[in-house]
Every structure is written in structure tokens, then in C-alpha cells.
Structure 1
């Protein structure tokens, strides 16, 4: 799931955090990919952050079904600069059902996906340079 925002990177990251919060997600982890690659490898990348977003009630429900699903938590959201725009990508939570082979996780994954779709759509409606890509608004 993705959307391109007609915003500079720093503002896009702020908007993503706000949109996630509006859907009950907090950011538990943040990896500054640009800074890490520079520090560890001496290479320069565009501004790029990986956010680990968690909705505690959904995470708890998923863990109650299958404790090993913790390997797939939290939800991954990336923001990266591309020219004068920013690209926001979100991993489809349905991947946890496929990867665990646990169909009982499906309702939780669908709810998480619906929330992330609302995040994407709120961002797209307010600041995107175009409509979300692909059927259902982006790559699954």
C-alpha cells in the first residue's frame, strides 16, 4: 500500500505520524536508514525512515491467537524522499496470515489493513500528487 505526497520529507514524516495516531497506532521504533547507511557504510542515500507502527489492541488480539506473530509485529511503514515529493509505503498486514498459516488471524489482519488504508487515504486526500496506485489503493 502506498501513496506519494507532494510534501518535503520532514513534513511527510510528521503527517504520517499524525495519520497513524488518528487510527490508534503509535510508533514504537524508528530507523533512520540514511543516517545508518552513512554511519555504517559511508554511503549516501535519500532521506528514508522505517517506522514500526503498533496498534496495541490489534497486536494483543494477534498475540492471543499466535504468540509467534510477534515476529511480524509491529506494522512496517516507510517514508522516503523522491525528488521534491515523499513516498509512503505500508506493508499489508495480511502478510502475517500468509506467513504464519494461521487463518484465525485474518479478521485482525483485515482490521489492521482497513486502518492503514484509512491512513493512506487521509494522507492521499490531503497532500498526494495523485490517486493511490493499483486496485484497492496500492500494492498489497
Structure 2
């Protein structure tokens, strides 16, 4: 499966705040938070689903992966989505281990970095 997604309690805003706090424990910072519903409505498009996209980065891991292969930068920064679907709030991400397989020259070093990033992000999601 290309993604890792968990159902969580609370609202989208509460879950987004909690994931930001949990990501900090894993040395990730939130670079940008995009409120899709707000932006689409601002543009005159009717969109009722609460949906946030967080772009997150662990600088140490980003340096490692970019040093190994600049093509991995196409997947940076990492994304976390927080959204409501059928009354249930979900927090998820595309799995770095799946994304890195798209780099033709992905070697064991890149795969190990992706595994570590994924494990840390999953741990943060699981704590939400």
C-alpha cells in the first residue's frame, strides 16, 4: 500500500495540532500547513470536506537523502494529510519506502533512510 493512514479522535484542527506536536518529538518541523477547504472556498469553489496538508521535514534526514541522490528531492518535503471522511478524522502519509522505489538508482542506503523516515513518521501518527 502506498500510504499509511490511521483514524483518530477529535476534529481535523485538533488532530493537525497533535500531529505537529508529535512530529517535533521525531525531529520533524512543519514547513507549511495548507487548509484545502479554506483555499478552495476562498477561490469560489464549494468544498465542504475538512482537509489539511502539512509539509514536514527532518533536516538531518533530508540532507542524508539529498547527499545520496538529488532525485530523492522530488519527494521532499514529506507530506502528512489530516482530513475528515464520512464523519471520521484520519491522519496519513504517502510511505517514503514506496516513494523511494520510484528513483531508478535507489540503493540500499536510500532505502534505509526511507525506512527510518517512515518509521519516525508512523510513530508520530500512531501517537495522535
TM-score using structure 1 length: 0.81
Question: Which of 6, 17, 21 pairs up with 2:24?
Answer: 21
Aligned length in residues = 123
Moved segments of 4+, more than 3 Å: 82-85
Q: Which has the higher strand share?
A: 2
Equivalence map 1:1-140=2 (5 Å)? 1-82=4-85, 84-101=87-104, 102-103=106-107, 104-123=109-128
Q: Describe the shift of the 1:42–1:96 C-alpha distance in structure 2 as closer, same or farther (beyond 3 A).
A: closer
Instruction: For residue 97 of structure 1, report the CA deviation from its aligned partner.
Output: 1.9
| Equivalent-residue separation in structure 2 for 1:60 and 1:41 (angstroms) | 39
Instruction: For residue 41 of structure 1, report the CA deviation from its aligned partner.
Output: 4.5
TM-score using structure 2 length: 0.88
Gaps of 5+ in 1: 124-140
